[in-house]
Amino acid sequence: MRAASGNMDPNSKRFIYRVNKEENRKELKHVKIDESSVIKSDISTKKNKKNKMELPKKKYYRQRAHSNPFSDHQLEYPSCPEDMDWSKLYPAFKDENSGEMTKEVTIADIGCGFGGLMIDLSPAFPQQLILGMEIRVQVTNYVEDRIIALRSNHAKEQTYQNINVLRGNAMKFLPNFFHKAQLSKMFFCFPDPHFKQRKHKARIVTNTLLSEYAYVLKEGGIIYTITDVEDLHNWMVKHLTEHPLFERLSKEWEANDKCVEIMTNATEEGKKVARKQGSKFVACFKRLPNPEII
């Protein structure tokens, strides 16, 4: 059977659910969803009594909590940013006459998980394109299905057109997707802590990776970090503080920034920490200007 369905029993609910969702995803993930398309196709999928597309159910997208970023995941990625066709992810922002995109991605959620942050950022930044990058297959599928449902259910308002997700490894291929100084905000929410010391090289914040983040982040752009693991928080703060192109922002700045508020409360992992009354450690850093070469 198809890889998306794995080796599951073809008569199981999970198998049938995934196959139906995969067919729906192929039909709708790259098309502009508006009132006319909803009426024309009736968004051929299961709807509830209020004629709304049902949001995907996590129980059918079972996946390990983390994935090895150094493994060969058979990912698709452009050879350079110019080769990336963003219109497939954001068809509402494609000029019908020229065929060109009217906007470019400026906000990235690295390791976006189940997409909670993007969904809350979408109405806060309706004119900015927001991309989630996620390495896990089923989690990526879940976010795609979630966005399709939201776009369908809000076709009249044309909301949630500015968010999407792609399966990718930001630790390897970030410069393949983004131009120099393209991004204004990057989010790292509850990343894998990789507790064992020999695994620290796999953490999403390292000296080498920070230089790549600095490349795609514009001057004055912000890196947002949040975790419930204090050791990882201290690690990220240390490496960002030591990097010459980043400067930590104050707690006062954090208290007045709407993205910090959204980040603290929007993600599924953050909600889980709140339910368990755990701690959340936040740190934000500004991208500094490149030093002058004398």
The CA–CA distances, whole Å, from 120 to 1, 112, 115, 150, 172 equal 36, 12, 9, 12, 27
3 state DSSP class of 159: coil
User: Which stretches of the chain score pLDDT less than 70?
Assistant: 1-8, 11, 35-51, 63-73
Helix axes 116-124, 258-266, angle to 10 degrees: 150
CB 212 within 8 A of CB 179: no
Q: Which CATH superfamily is domain 13-49+78-287 in?
A: Vaccinia Virus protein VP39 (3.40.50.150)
* 11-52 per-position pLDDT tens digit: 677 777 777 777 778 777 777 777 665 544 554 455 554 568
First and final C-alpha spacing in the chain? 61
Residue listed under structure tokens 């790259």:
30
Q: What is the DSSP string of 191-235?
A: -----SGGGGGGSS--HHHHHHHHHHEEEEEEEEEEES-HHHHHH
* 221-249 per-position pLDDT tens digit: 999 999 999 999 999 999 999 999 999 99
This prediction's pTM:
0.87
Annotated catalytic residue: which of 42, 192, 228, 231? 192
User: Is 192 in the active site?
Assistant: yes
Task: Give the pLDDT of residue 292.
Answer: 82
Q: Extract the annotated binding site.
A: 111, 134-135, 169-170, 189, 267-269
Q: Extract the annotated binding site for S-adenosyl-L-methionine.
A: 111, 134-135, 169-170, 189, 267-269
Task: Quote the Cα angle for 180-181-183, to 5°.
Answer: 115
Calculate the dihedral angle through the C-alpha atoms of 239, 240, 242, 245, rounding to the nearest 10 degrees.
Answer: 140
